[in-house]
Amino acid sequence: MIARLWRSQRWWIQRVALLPVHLFLFAIAVFFLVRLIPGDPVLIIAGSDDLTADQYERIEVLLGLSGSLWHQLMVFLGRVVTLDLGRSLIDGQDVQEQIAWRLPATIEIALIAMVIAIAVTLLLCIFAMLHPHNPVARFAAFYARSAGAIPDFVLGVAGILVFYTVLGWAAAPTGRYDAGLRPAPRTTGFPFLDALLSSDTVLLSSMLAHLWLPVLVLVVGSAPTIMKVLQRSIEHAVDDEATLFRIASGVPRHVVIVSVLRRASPTMVTMCGQLFGFLLGGAVIIEQLFAIPGMGQYAVQAVGRADFLALQAFLLTVAACVLVVFLIVDLVNMTLDPRRRPGVMVEGNA
Amino acid sequence: MITAKAAAKQYRGRDNTVVHALNPLDLVIEPGDRVGIIGESGSGKSTLVRLLLGLETPSAGSILYQDGEVSQLSGDRLRQFRRDVQLVGQDTTSSFDPLRSLRDAVRRPALEILGLTVAEADAAVDEVLASLAVDPELSSRRPSQVSGGQRQRFAIARALIVSPRILICDESVSALDVSVQGAVLNEFKDFAERSGAGIVFVSHGVPATAFLSDRLVVMHGGDVVEQGDVSQVVNRPKHPYTARLMGAYRKLSADESSAA
Amino acid sequence: MTTATTPPTAAPATRRRLPGSASMVPVVAPLVLLLLVAALGPLLAPYSPIDVVAAPDQPPSTQHWFGTDIYGLDVFSRVIAATRNDLVVGLVAALLATVIGVGVGLFTGTNESRGGVPGSVARGVTRGLDLFDALPQIVVGLVLLAFFGRNLLTLSVVCGLLMVPTQARVVRTEVLRVRREAYLESARLSGESERGLLLRHMLPNSTWPALENASYIFGVAVTVAAGLGFLGVGLPPPTPEWGAMIADGATAASAGRWWSSLFPCLALAVTVIAFSNLAHQYLRRR
């Protein structure tokens, strides 16, 4: 009974169990990366050469750089497991507290942009599939081909110039809402969601006015990459014999569309995972441009102060987010297509 | 020289299903033999060829060359095996590296197997090309720059340059134009008569195989359904599958002789 | 039809003719222009790119073709001087990523399906590169630069390392394709050693696409470098670099002084499009 349950449920249990392993391996990689930093991190952080032996030792312990390499590794892994990422030596703030406060804001922007980018991409691709000779379809193809040609920050500067300076449609790029407004009470940690829940309409409208341009920039910048992939997989699905058979046998159009999309869906799910990583990177840049307090701003500040603890935590956090998204992508794909489950296909699942 | 003893091959397909590509089979091939292996695609004949050449390991049984397991040979013994047994394959387009000249491909066995110097190997290439009536100028070209028939002659040259004692021809003429097929078949026959080498002619076509062989092996669905002398298999088949195959062939040749 | 008149079969995918000269002009001309500007940089710049030469925030004029920025630096001179820095990053990154990527891709592609230690190492490396590639490039680049110093060399190397997974994946896919080719078996029957197979056949046949991909990588590397510069974590100021210039000009742009941001934007766009065109021109012929 239990054996049978294990056999039928093994695929997702195994995949979920892989997440901590990946995180663990990544943490070790980061640990050694930090040890490769040239020069003495203690002196860099202290910002001067004349430290008393006592001061030096204190900083060394705080950075987890004291004792043998093995001891250091154990201390480091212990801190990662207990989510104790340390207290920044520069501003004295708890690193994990800062991240817990900033991460939701960044993820929120990335997720909103992701949902809109996927919706726009789907609509454009379906339209292009149905009306291949329409100018809009041609524009979509051209737009998809231009993937990555214009970086996010160029789009951002152009967007601010056009929509804020010239047209005046967007609010000033100076944060998440107008100065003088108070943030919504913190319930979920996600600033926009909190504002929605608080039903403070003044705050909400101000947030919308500040949010739409950064989101638009992210969507315009990231949509081509997924559009290219989706267009190609739709083309494959349309040329597929099963689809041609459906069309030839006079099945209603919406049934054909649904079947084509179903065939293209594993590619789409995989692509959503990549899109999330892409948008996370984009959000880091966009936050800087629009002065939105999030992970990106935190990291840029940390670079300026040579705050290694903060940077190490930043890298680990972003990696953890990406790994979780990878996990979700894999699980969804395994649900959609049982052939992708481990142990089923030995070769060729790349 | 090559002995298959209850050699079989299974593949693990998708969803962990087992595909029996070749069921246990016994076969002895000596220099001077002319063995034709007939079967449709999927009958296991290509698997048999790959086993005989040591390109794959049998899942059960063994393929022996001078009492050594073919797929385990190495060093000098492997070189000796390659010198004795060569292949003219089916696909003329993909059996040559597209980035290298045809001469390079033909020269390679002379360098690696016979251990000749480059100058000696080049002389050997010219000689073997001349014996096949191939313009030596063509050898500086890339595989894509000559016709399919020419390319197949280079494939033959590559096999013959080491003067093998057994030549395996796997669908060697199937992809060629009918007009070229006859000429290539004659090359094989000439070579066998000249050097006393054995030929294993693997094909799905009865006429060409019957033309070149003394002994026929008929394969179907991974099994050998019948083997014996050409005249016996063609004229008095025992197995219904062979009978069906040969019936069509006999009718065809009868039509031809009555027309002539 | 006789053998002699049989037309050669269509060229296989790996053989390509050089594109016609007429169609190459729009692709090559911007590249030549960029390389010239990068090489001649200081000779073309009318002012010092790192010194204050005029009043800040002046619009384009006959003295200052692209205007001056918030500090009073000449934008035209800086755009010119930055070309060399940004192209060096792209070039070194593309080279490094291709060399490492080819090595890694050959290793993983040939060993992946094997058992034992090499097989598991190869599968682990492939999975690791996938995970590494899933991380936002800008995030990894930012942390690595902060750790290992902000200069032209580390910036180029970091951008190159970020591109290794892409190149390794291209080569690996090609190796997996080439492995199934009949000519490898022919070569084996011709007595070639495994090493000979790898060097004589696998390496040349599977690296072609990576070389073509290198021009695409060049564009991405320049974008990432500019992105890091934009964040203020790239080359330290006042080193001229397009991304940093765009960031410096962004505030001015939101106040309507568009020039100090627009011109480096254009330079970056021309570079990226020129190189991705080169890639497109080749990739289309595959």
Q: Is residue A88 part of a domain?
A: no
pLDDT (average), residues C241-252: 84
Residue B217: phi and psi, rounded to 5, are -120, 120
Which 164-203 residues of chain C touch chain B by CB within 8 A? 181-183, 185-193, 196, 200-201
What secondary structure does DSSP assign to A34-90, as a single string?
Answer: HHT-SS-HHHHHHTSS---HHHHHHHHHHHT--S-HHHHHHHHHHHHHTT---B-TT
Average pLDDT, chain A: 80
User: Which tokens hold the place of C78?
Assistant: 């800086």
Residue B61: phi and psi, rounded to 5, are 75, -165
H-helix or E-strand spanning residue A107: helix A95-130
Whether C9 shows a pLDDT value over 50: the answer reads: no
Q: Is residue A348 part of a domain?
A: no
Q: Is residue A346 part of a domain?
A: no
Q: Are residues A34 and A60 in the same domain?
A: yes
Average pLDDT, chain B: 87
Using an 8 Å Cβ cutoff, are A287 and C143 in contact? no
Owning domain of residue B29: 2-259
Whether C17 shows a pLDDT value over 60: the answer reads: no
How many other C-beta atoms can be found within 10 angstroms of the C-beta atom of residue C217? Answer: 28
Lowest mean pLDDT: which of A16-20, A295-299, B91-95, C144-148?
Answer: B91-95
Q: Is residue A349 part of a domain?
A: no
How many other C-beta atoms can be found within 10 angstroms of the C-beta atom of residue C255? Answer: 13
Q: Are residues A103 and A75 in the same domain?
A: no
Using an 8 Å Cβ cutoff, are C172 and C126 in contact? yes
SS3 A288: helix
Q: Are residues A57 and A113 in the same domain?
A: no
Whether A350 shows a pLDDT value over 70: the answer reads: no
Exposed e or buried b per residue across C256-285, where buried means at least 16 C-beta atoms within 10 angstroms of its C-beta: ebbbbbbbbbebbbebbbbbbbbbbbbeee
Q: Which of B21, B26, B27, B83 is nearest to B46 (CA)?
A: B21
- Residue C74 gets which letter from DSSP? B
Give the gap in angstroms from C-alpha B47 to the nearest C-alpha of chain A. 20
Distance CA B43, CA B54 (A): 19
Distance CA A91, CA A307 (A): 9
Question: Which residues fall within 8 angstroms of residue B244, CB to CB, at 6 or more apart?
Answer: none
Number of domains present in the structure of chain A: 2
Owning domain of residue A127: 95-340
Give the gap in angstroms from C-alpha B109 to the nearest C-alpha of chain C. 4
What secondary structure does DSSP assign to chain B, as a single string?
Answer: -EEEEEEEEEEE-GGG-EEEEEEEEEEEE-TT-EEEEE--TTSSHHHHHHHHTTSS--SEEEEEETTEEGGG--HHHHHHHHHHEEEE-S-TTTSS-TTS-HHHHHHHHHHHTS---HHHHHHHHHHHHHHTT--GGGGGS-GGGS-HHHHHHHHHHHHHTT--SEEEEESTTTTS-HHHHHHHHHHHHHHHHHH--EEEEEES-HHHHHHH-SEEEEEETTEEEEEEEHHHHHHS--SHHHHHHHHHHHHHHHHHHHH-
pLDDT by residue (tens digit) across C51-62? Answer: 777 778 788 888
ipTM more than 0.90? Answer: no
Which 164-203 residues of chain B touch chain C by CB within 8 A? 177, 179-180, 183
Give me the residue from C4, C9, C191 closest to B82, CB to CB: C191
Using an 8 Å Cβ cutoff, are A296 and A106 in contact? yes
pLDDT by residue (tens digit) across B137-160? Answer: 899 999 888 888 888 889 999 999
Distance CA A292, CA B188 (A): 79
Closest residue on chain B to A346 (Cα)? B14
How many other C-beta atoms can be found within 10 angstroms of the C-beta atom of residue B53? Answer: 23
Q: pLDDT 10s per residue in chain B (260 long)?
A: 899 998 888 887 666 678 888 889 899 999 989 999 998 888 888 889 999 998 889 998 899 998 889 888 888 899 999 999 999 988 777 889 988 999 999 999 999 999 999 999 999 999 999 988 888 889 999 988 888 888 888 999 999 999 999 999 988 888 788 888 888 888 888 889 988 899 999 988 888 888 889 999 999 988 888 888 988 888 888 888 888 888 777 777 776 666 54
C-alpha B175, offset from chain centre: 14
Residue linked to tokens 């997989």: A233
Please report all neighbours of B, defined by 3+ CB atom pairs within 8 A: A, C
C-alpha B132, offset from chain centre: 18
Q: What is the CATH number of the domain that holds A112?
A: 1.10.3720.10
* pLDDT for position C3: 38
This prediction's pTM: 0.79
From A54, A81, A108, the end of a domain falls on A81
User: Which tokens hold the place of A140?
Assistant: 């979509």
pLDDT (average), residues C70-96: 88
Q: Is residue A199 part of a domain?
A: yes
pLDDT by residue (tens digit) across A57-116? Answer: 877 777 777 777 888 888 888 888 777 777 776 677 788 888 888 898 889 899 999 999
Using an 8 Å Cβ cutoff, are B162 and B114 in contact? yes
Whether C6 shows a pLDDT value over 60: the answer reads: no
Number of domains present in the structure of chain B: 1
* pLDDT for position A63: 75
The residue type at A272: C
* pLDDT for position A147: 64
Q: Are residues A67 and A190 in the same domain?
A: no
Q: Are residues A56 and A170 in the same domain?
A: no
Taking only Cα atoms into account, the Rg of chain C, rounded to an integer number of angstroms, comes to 23
Residues of A in contact with B14 (CB under 8 A): 339, 344-345
β-sheet bridge partners, residue B63? B4
Distance CA C144, CA A299 (A): 12
Q: Is residue A164 part of a domain?
A: yes
H-helix or E-strand spanning residue C257: none
**pLDDT over 70, % of chain C:** 89
Q: What is the CATH number of the domain that holds B113?
A: 3.40.50.300
pLDDT by residue (tens digit) across C100-153? Answer: 999 999 999 888 887 788 888 998 898 888 888 888 888 889 888 888 888 899
Q: Which of C2, C5, C9 to mutate to test the interface with B (most CBs of B within 10 A)?
A: C9
Q: Are residues A41 and A76 in the same domain?
A: yes
pLDDT by residue (tens digit) across C101-112? Answer: 999 999 998 888
Average pLDDT, chain C: 81
Give me the residue from C3, C182, C201 closest to B147, CB to CB: C3
User: Which tokens hold the place of C182?
Assistant: 């009949």
Q: Are residues A114 and A242 in the same domain?
A: yes
How many other C-beta atoms can be found within 10 angstroms of the C-beta atom of residue B119? Answer: 8
Q: Are residues A183 and A305 in the same domain?
A: yes
